[in-house]
């Protein structure tokens, strides 16, 4: 499984504004703040939203600490998606939120 630190993700999205981020936290967690531009797809709904995830793009998976996004990364990798887990999750995120 590919992974990036929160600092690497912050630098990556600064240099690649079109980067795709998918936040797999629950709705109430996202309401407290998410990375600007991240798409919210709760982990429990991921398998039902596969048609909404572009298989031709690379996606960075985000959660609170990196565990659920790791599960999402493995799930999507197994289905042929190009995904990266953000280690440390929003607990380690020091960038902007919306």
81 included as an active-site residue: no
Q: Of the residues 30, 63, 72, 84, which is catalytic?
A: 63
| Cα–Cα dist 91/51, whole Å | 29
Q: What is Dmax (Cα atoms) for the chain?
A: 31
Q: Which residues belong to the active site? A: 63
């Amino acid at each position: 499984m590919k992974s990036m630190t929160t600092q690497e993700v912050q630098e990556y999205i600064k240099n690649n504004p079109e980067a795709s981020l998918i936040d797999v936290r629950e709705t109430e967690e996202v309401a407290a703040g998410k990375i600007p531009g991240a798409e919210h797809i709760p982990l429990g709904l991921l398998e039902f939203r596969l048609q909404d995830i572009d298989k031709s793009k690379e996606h960075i998976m985000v959660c609170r600490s990196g565990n659920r996004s790791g599960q999402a990364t493995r799930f999507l990798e197994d289905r042929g998606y190009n995904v990266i887990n953000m280690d440390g999750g929003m607990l380690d995120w020091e960038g902007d939120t919306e």
